[in-house]
Amino acid sequence: MPSFNFVLLTIVGTGLVTWISRITPFVLLKKFELSKGVVEFLSFVPIAIMSALWFENLFIQHIGQLPSIEWGNFLASVPTVIAAIISKNLLVIVIVGVISLGVIRFVFGL
């Protein structure tokens, strides 16, 4: 691991770029209005981003080849989706998900 000062500088640098990404739209949109077309485009952001974050975890990247399946996450997603449909409760969904993956790893050693 690099020195304390190097790590601290990295933390500050990564914090800064993340902060700028987070606040710039808030600062700009205080003054400017979004067009109707942009608003329509953005209405798809929640489902697109949540599904992209989920699906990205189901595969293992091999640049230049088709990705392989991350079987642990893939299998654990099944009971998690079922828990979502039945309970519609985020807490239940998260607990079912974590226990599922724990059991899958214990049983199959994935």
Q: Is 71 in the site for another protein (CB under 8 A)?
A: no
- Quote the CA–CA distance of 33 and 18 in Å, as a whole number: 24
Count of residues touching another protein (by CB under 8 A): 79
The verdict on 86 binding another protein (CB under 8 A) reads no
CB of 27 to another protein, least distance (A): 7
| CA distance between the termini of the chain | 29
Binding to another protein in span 27-56, by CB under 8 A: 27-30, 34, 37, 39-56
- Short-list 15, 19, 18, CA closest to 7: 15
Residue 3 C-beta: closest distance to another protein, Å: 11
Interface with another protein, residue 75, by CB under 8 A: no
